[in-house]
Amino acid sequence: MVLSVSERTFTQEVLQSPIPVLVNFEAPWCGLCRIIHPLLLQFNAQCGDKIKLVGVNADNNFKLANSYRLKSLPTLLLVENGIIRHRLEGFRGKEDLRLALEEIKLTYNTRSKTYNHLTTADLGCRSA
């Protein structure tokens, strides 16, 4: 299930999130948005608690759509510590998006392993 975020909850759920957030700007009338939805759910399930997936209805949240200068839907933003790390827009279909999501997943899995290695080895923490 994807958490629905609005202008009212965007700061708390996205910009202040302790983990990276993949923001899916979509609209009910957008055919490609519906096509990629299962792929996003699969990505979310594979990432577990490393990356949070949220959806924003661009039609109902015009200020957000305008602030992030959306040119097309769907547009995906990967936000980490309030900063946009990746912007995915203009992809041509599921395969194009799948490759981009795989790259993101690999980046964050590598970061997580590096962080875990540093905390146990370099900071003197003991693993259970």
Active-site amino acid positions: 30, 33
Q: How far apart are CA 111 and CA 69, in angstroms?
A: 29
Quickly count: other Cβ atoms within 10 Å of residue 40's Cβ: 20
Q: Which two tokens stand for residue 52?
A: 């949070």
Q: How far apart are CA 61 and CA 103, in angstroms?
A: 29
